[in-house]
A and B are shown apart, each in its own frame.
Chain A
Amino acid sequence: MLGPVSTGSALQRTLFQVLLHGGKFAADRLVGAFGGCFCLGLVCLRPVRWFSSFNYSFCLMRATLSSCLTAHALSWLQGCGPGMDECEPPGRGNSSESHNCAKSILTSDRLQIVVTLSEFFNETWEAANCANCLKNNSEGLSNSTEEFLDLFNKSLTCFEHNLQGQAIDLSPNNYTEVCKNCNETYTKLNDLYNHLQRINRQGGESAHSAHLCIDVEDAMNITRKLWSRTFNCSLPCSDTVPVIAVSSFILFLPIVFYLSSFLHSKQKKRILILPKRIQSNANLVNIQEKYS
């Protein structure tokens, strides 16, 4: 979380993928509403509302534009082949006919713009782990995501509710009301998030699937930032005295141990043995010479 993945890309991909998997219907709607495809995604409906309230409109604009662009290209495809689904993913079609179709369109220009864009979206989609929030058939949000978003909404509402009247006040310790009143909702949200994360980590193997989808992560990040940084509701440092007492007791033990073993233990003595050798003066003389 708080990671480098930009929310804009995630949204782009969300829109795109939903449209794609939604099939003809969604594509039609998109193409039909080229100028105003602002709120056409099935999933993006909610994020649009949330994020617009958090000044995410820039990302959203970009997301929408890109989605429309790609969708346009796809609709073009659709008119040519036996169906968009078979042309998709680009360049990986099964039947030779649709393959040819895809090829002729996808590779027609120097940039291969459709392929490039599609790859970009695919990568971003993977990186953002969007599939994680969707049902298996990508028809909509999974139950756990729904639940999470519900709680998220509740928390935000709670924050908003409790902040009324003191929203402009910036002094740090003025949010105790929020901390107290929203603690329950927030804790629930946090626990659910941790729970989802744990399930996810157990299920997946690769590094990517350790993450939840970016929308959920971002939502949680915003809440946590608000909670910990803005409202300063995180746990205060406590127990200093007992910790110091216990640790100094433990640190004191070795000193006692070493002192007592130094004082009470009998020092180990070695018995010297003198081997029988020729103790000639030559030995000594030699060494004397060397050092003189």
Chain B
Amino acid sequence: GELALPLTPSSFLRIGQLSNVDLNEDIHELETEVPRQRPNEIPHNEKLLSLKYESLDYDNSENQLFLEEERRINHAAFRTVEIKRWVICAMIGILTGLVACFIDIVVENLAGLKYRVVKDNIDKFTAKGGLSFSLLLWATLNASVVMVGSLIVAFIEPVAAGSGIPQIKCYLNGVKIPHVVRLKTLVIKVCGVILSVVGGLAVGKEGPMIHSGSVIAAGISQGRSTSLKRDFKIFEYFRRDTEKRDFVSAGAAAGVSAAFGAPVGVLTPGCISFQFFASMISTFTLNSVLSVYHGNAWDLSSPGLINFGRFDSEKMGYTIQEIPIFIFMGVVGGILGALFNALNYWLTMFRIRYIHRPCLQVVEAMLVAAVTATVGFVMIYCSRDCQPIQGSSVAYPLQLFCADGEYNSMATAFFNTPEKSVVNLFHDPPGSYNPMTLGMFTLMYFFLACWTYGLTVSAGVFIPSLLIGAAWGRLFGISLSYLTKGSIWADPGKYALMGAAAQLGGIVRMTLSLTVIMMEATGNVTYGFPIMLVLMTAKIVGDYFVEGLYDMHIQLQSVPFLHWEAPVTSHSLTAREVMSTPVTCLRRIERVGTVVDILSDTSSNHNGFPVVESNPDTTQVAGLRGLILRSQLIVLLKHKVFVERANLSVVQRRLKLKDFRDAYPRFPPIQSIHVSQDERECMIDLSEFMNPSPYTVPQEASLPRVFKLFRALGLRHLVVVDNRNEVVGMVTRKDLARYRLGKEGLEELSLAQT
């Protein structure tokens, strides 16, 4: 925790952890506030903020050491820093592209192997009888592959679960999520995603690609890996939160572009040119390596993990009359997306509350895998929709009880990796799917995907959403041309695309970046407008019911996430009510013993300490002089930079900024630093190391004002002072994140130990 105040555990607890800032209830609540003896335990809910998450510090500590270094570096040196930045981005791009290739190739081969084995088995037993064995084989294969994938995630690196997009979103927001950008996480993520896709779950490999790109970026830009315990002694200049964040966002961009072949897809307002560079490199790398792998080396035909295929303007163009239809599809997508999110919300809540033991999580994942296979099998078995094989578009045609030369069209959807199914739905010629097949598929896949998201496997939700949307979109297109008796000649593929966009927009609620991604993935700019319309409609309709899937999961994880703006209607709150108080302050020249005691106090695991004037007589005001961080104090204690030692004039090296950087980002805990009894009596002078000009706000500042300063500058600590420059409180991330606009107005979240 970074709350700069002693958190007394059990003395000030009250029953209403959530004070709905609303009507009379609140008064009632406050009146009944009686001290409780035992710690207040409540079941997990969404209105909590976890103490587990800390903030990243994007504010440079401009202490004297920093200024000195800045002065030493001349202009030329800054230029090399600039060049290094580009080099790092190129490396991020290349490595992300290579990881994407690796995932793609391994998935293709393993999934191909699995489907071939199952197909041969089914073909054999169709003739001889005994198809239940094929079902068992398929379910067992799926379950065992998923078991391995889930085991490594649950027991080795739980943070690798899920798509990773919420985690990266939090990281870029400034929340430090433990282990999220470690090499170990990357390895688990990559293996996990391969196994869960091969295991036939209703998942995609695109979301995890974004996480992988971020990890690669964080690793390369720091020039070392703590998982490998190797320091390559390069890129030391970039060892700070600010630089790291920029690179992580470049890595995420590279991941997106590798996943969708959409290098412009992440051009968000805060984007910098070198992120764009990284994503270009990444998609190019993926493209060239995959082209070589597929045997047409100079072709460059596979820019992303998923390629929607070509949407020709002549064949699949749209007319103005169709735009209202697209908007209607957006509405449907919004409603279905909201339904998806609401179902997933309940499921996730149940999972957090009851399925929290790793072994249970593994069992759950296995069950989902087995059921997915079973549902697929039963659907294929029951389907009587046979279609002639046309060309070689179907990778693993299952004949089952169809006539020779025909295949079961349900099998193209279920007996395939989701990516391929999406492309089939977009591009198969009209008449390839029976409306009944599509309807059943949509229904089943909707529930399967909803059930799958949130399992302890690493997997994304992009592709399942696209698949659901493509299925009902195609169904919609078919029924449209049926209703109008063919007067609108509707290529169902076009409606499949719009349905996919609507469904995705309804689930994840990203408008701008998704538009660009979809547009790039289809390779047709004229689709930009309808896709944007569909996505916007879906988002507006969906937001009316519940929030987006990623935001929902961030909330359920009790992450102190700061949105762009403070909640509306919060102007009446001032810094005085928001801040934490009293604050643990340090004096400018402080006794070592006091520092050690404060740092090792487990009940107040604070991270930043305001430094006040160390005036011996208490009559004078102890004004704010600066801010010092826990990490800096630990480095000081470790190097024993004490006033007495300096006076002894032992030949002691002056502490440089490098010493602080070397310790970044994992500073040793205070327990590992030995301070003898004599040394406890020494004094430590903080004036050289503290940040002498921390950001402050007066007590009267309104919450939106504080919020804006905090969010825009990416601060970690914001000191609240009175008019005599005396420290009265400290605003940190959790103080701001606890206000949220809920259904009944402004809500306040409570802090909890998780």
Contact = CB atoms under 8 A, between A and B. Distances in A.
Q: Is A bound to B?
A: yes
A246 B354 contact: no
Interface in A232-268: 234-239, 242-243, 245-247, 250-251, 253-254, 257-258, 261-262, 265, 267-268
A167 interface: no
A247 B751 contact: no
B374 A270 contact: no
Nearest to A207: B391
A274 B745 contact: no
Given A277-B579, A289-B572, A271 B405 contact: no
A239 B51 CA distance: 56
Interface stretch (A70-78, A90-98, A278-286): A278-286
A180 interface: no
Which of A205, A228, A283, A291 neighbours the largest number of chain B CB atoms within 10 Å of its CB?
A: A283
Nearest to A4: B390
B301 to A, nearest CB: 13
Interface stretch (B67-75, B277-285, B357-365, B612-620): B357-365
A291 B403 CA distance: 70
Given A228-B403, A254-B368, A284-B30, A210 B391 contact: yes
Contacts of A225: 403
B23 interface: yes
Nearest to B734: A275
A284 B5 CA distance: 23
Interface residues of B, number: 86
A277 B581 contact: yes
Which of B360, B572, B734 neighbours the largest number of chain A CB atoms within 10 Å of its CB?
A: B572
B109 interface: no
Given A253-B367, A254-B367, A265 B401 contact: no
B357 A3 contact: no
A287 interface: yes
Contacts of B403: 224-225, 227-229, 234
Given A2-B388, A207-B392, A279 B404 contact: no
Contact of B26 (A210, A246, A270, A284): A284
B389 interface: yes
B154 interface: no
B392 A273 contact: no
A283 B577 contact: yes
Nearest to A272: B40
A270 B754 CA distance: 6
Interface string B305-334: 000000000000000000000000000000
A269 interface: yes
A246 B381 CA distance: 13
Interface residues of A, number: 58
A214 to B, nearest CB: 13
Contacts of A210: 391-392
B442 interface: no
B371 interface: yes
B39 A271 contact: yes
Contacts of B295: 205
Contacts of A238: 129, 131
A291 B22 contact: yes
A274 B12 CA distance: 6
A280 B577 contact: yes
A246 to B, nearest CB: 4
Contacts of B41: 269-272
A253 B364 CA distance: 10
Given A2-B405, A201-B392, A210-B391, A267 B132 contact: no
A190 B130 contact: no
A52 to B, nearest CB: 24
A15 interface: no
A242 B41 CA distance: 49
A235 B405 contact: no
A143 B360 CA distance: 60
Given A265-B355, A269-B41, A277-B579, A287 B377 contact: no
A1 interface: yes
B752 interface: yes
Contacts of B390: 2-3
Contact of B402 (A234, A243, A275): A234
A271 B13 CA distance: 10
Contacts of B296: 205
B13 A246 contact: no
B135 interface: yes
Interface in B282-303: 295-296
B7 A267 contact: no
Contacts, number: 193
B443 interface: no
A276 interface: yes
A283 B573 contact: yes
Interface stretch (B42-50, B226-234, B514-522, B642-650): B42-50
B140 to A, nearest CB: 10
A242 B132 contact: yes
Contact of A279 (B30, B48, B130): B30
B580 interface: yes
Interface in B646-662: none
A279 B12 CA distance: 12
A1 B582 contact: no
A211 interface: yes
A236 B9 CA distance: 71
B718 interface: no
B585 interface: no
B43 A270 contact: yes
A257 B368 CA distance: 11
Contact of A271 (B27, B364, B752): B752
Given A234-B401, A270-B48, A287 B7 contact: no
A110 interface: no
Nearest to B746: A287
B580 A276 contact: yes
Given A262-B354, A267-B354, A278-B577, A273 B751 contact: yes
18 contacts: A2-B390, A205-B295, A228-B404, A239-B125, A243-B378, A243-B381, A247-B135, A261-B354, A268-B43, A271-B40, A272-B39, A274-B13, A274-B14, A277-B580, A278-B577, A282-B574, A287-B573, A291-B23
Given A247-B377, A261-B360, A269-B42, 9 more contacts: A235-B126, A251-B371, A267-B354, A268-B352, A270-B43, A271-B41, A272-B13, A272-B752, A287-B21
Interface of A: 1-3, 190, 201, 205, 207, 210-211, 220-221, 224-225, 227-229, 234-239, 242-243, 245-247, 250-251, 253-254, 257-258, 261-262, 265, 267-280, 282-284, 286-287, 289-291
Q: What 4 A-B pairs come out closest when comparing CB atoms?
A: A228-B403, A286-B572, A242-B132, A270-B752
